[in-house]
A and B are shown apart, each in its own frame.
Chain A
Amino acid sequence: MTRSPTERTLQASADDHRIASLAALAIALGMVDAAIPSPLPGVKPGLANIMTLFALHTLGWRAAVWVTLLRVVGAGLLLGSLFTPGFWLSLGGALASLLLLGACRALPARHFSLVSHSLLAAQAHLLGQLLLVRLFLIPYDNILLLFPPLALAALLSGIANGLIASHLVQAHDKD
């Protein structure tokens, strides 16, 4: 086939490949998340966020944003929830936690580990979602009564995911 004069080939860099494989792992973990039965709608372990944290600490914030957005869209496609309310909630939570993780770069790494980032991002995720629910899905203040139990769940999953991610980062740094 003759090459068109306007054809351009995009060279994927090594980082692009890393981002792609992390996003793939995140999508797989997202499937696990979706399969785990939850006691309350909104309570989820959020295992996929481990990959966001890992990307943040090995490749930087921009990579974390890529991994997360690819995961949200990819998981939406696989679950068949693309552009449904659940998808927007997932996106809203993801964007809120990414913004907070961006702000977290100001925290000195000497005193704050990945666990702090995970804890704060989990709460930001919840707040982003609740805000979306309050604004668009259920426009009543009563929905905010869900905050305390959900925040407790976010606290626990934030610790768990943070610990898992920091194990992964340590193992990665040894290699």
Chain B
Amino acid sequence: MFKAGDYLVLLALCALLLAAFLQLGRRAGEADSVIVRQNGTETIRLPLRLNRRHVARGPLGLTEIEIHNGQARIRRDPSPRQYCVQQGWLRHSGDIAVCLPNRVSIELAGTRQAHDSLAY
């Protein structure tokens, strides 16, 4: 049933598959900065290695962004449902928190951007 060449093909495909999975693991990588956007346009990019707070002014009021220990979160926001605050700390490249009513969003960025969503 199996011939010598079949094992060769199988081995080659397994190697390719392994490489593909390793590549996948590398992509969801470290974040080194946080991008703050207002109305969808980037207003400032803050490094994650410095602990600090940043305040962005939106139509509803002030959105407070906190960076601590290489992570970032929305600390305070005037949006009624507080989704972006409840999202908590963002750690990985590609993580995103959107305060839609106040039109502010933060996104972690690394040297390589990981995926933000998969859709079919």
Contact = CB atoms under 8 A, between A and B. Distances in A.
Do chains A and B interact in one complex? yes
Interface stretch (A17-25, A63-71, A138-146): A138-146
B5 interface: yes
Contacts, number: 62
Interface string A98-115: 000000000110111101
A147 interface: yes
Contact of B5 (A111, A143, A148, A155): A111
A113 B2 contact: yes
- Interface residue tally on B, bucketed by range: 20 to 34
A68 to B, nearest CB: 21
Given A116-B9, A145-B24, A145-B115, A111 B16 contact: no
A39 interface: no
Interface residues of A, number: 26
A120 interface: yes
A41 interface: yes
Contacts of B21: 148
Nearest to A158: B13
A79 to B, nearest CB: 17
Contact of B6 (A115, A145, A147, A155): A115
A157 interface: no
Interface of B is mostly: helix
Interface in B10-24: 10, 13-14, 16-17, 20-21, 23-24
B13 A111 contact: no
Interface string A154-166: 0100010001001
B13 A119 contact: yes
A155 B2 contact: no
Given A110-B3, A113-B3, A163-B1, A151 B9 contact: no
Interface of B: 1-6, 9-10, 13-14, 16-17, 20-21, 23-24, 27, 115-120
Given A112-B3, A115-B2, 13 more contacts: A41-B120, A112-B5, A113-B2, A115-B6, A115-B10, A119-B13, A142-B116, A145-B24, A148-B21, A151-B13, A151-B16, A155-B13, A159-B10
7 contacts: A107-B5, A112-B3, A119-B9, A143-B118, A147-B20, A148-B24, A151-B16
